Copies of this chain bind each other. A is one copy, B any other.
Amino acid sequence: MPDPRYAASKEVAKANRAFYRAFEQLDIAAMTALWLDDDSIRCVHPGCDLLVGRERVLGSWLAIFGSTDAIRFELADLSIEITGECAWATNVERIRTTLRGAEHVSEAIATNLYVLRDAQWRLALHHASPIARRFPA
C-alpha cells in the first residue's frame, strides 16, 4: 500500500520543479498557471519588498522575464513538509543569470508554499532571499 504522504511529497516536488522550469524558460503562461488564481498570493524577490495579489506578483514575473536573457538554477537541500492541503518546500537556489549581456552568479534561499486546490498543488507564496553570510555571522 503506497504511503499517501510520500505520494503527496512527490507531487509537491514536481510542482516545485515546474516552478523553476517555468522560470528558466521565462514562460509567463506556465508561471501564471502555477499560482493560485486569487489575490492572496505573495512574492518576495531577493532583496525586494513584498508583493501581494495577482497583478503585482505576476507583473513582477513578466518584468523579470522581460529583462532576463537567460537564467539557470541548481537546487540544493530541498526539503518538503506537508500538513493537510498545505505544503512548503525550502531549497537553496544557485543561480546563473545573464542580464543585459552580463553573467551573474548568486545564491538565494527560497520558501515556496503550495496549497492543494482542485487536485493541483498551486503556489501561494514564494519568498527568496540573498545569502550574504552563514549563521552565525
Contact = CB atoms under 8 A, between A and B. Distances in A.
How many copies altogether? 2
Interface of A: 40, 42, 44-52, 60, 63, 77, 79, 81, 83-86, 88, 90, 92, 109, 111, 113, 115, 124-125, 127-137
Please classify the interface of chain A as helix (H, G, I), strand (E, B), loop, or mixed, using the class held by over half of its residues. strand
A96 to B, nearest CB: 19
3 closest Cβ pairs, A-B complex: A129-B129, A86-B86, A47-B132
A90 B50 contact: yes
A120 to B, nearest CB: 14
A85 B86 CA distance: 8
A83 B47 CA distance: 28
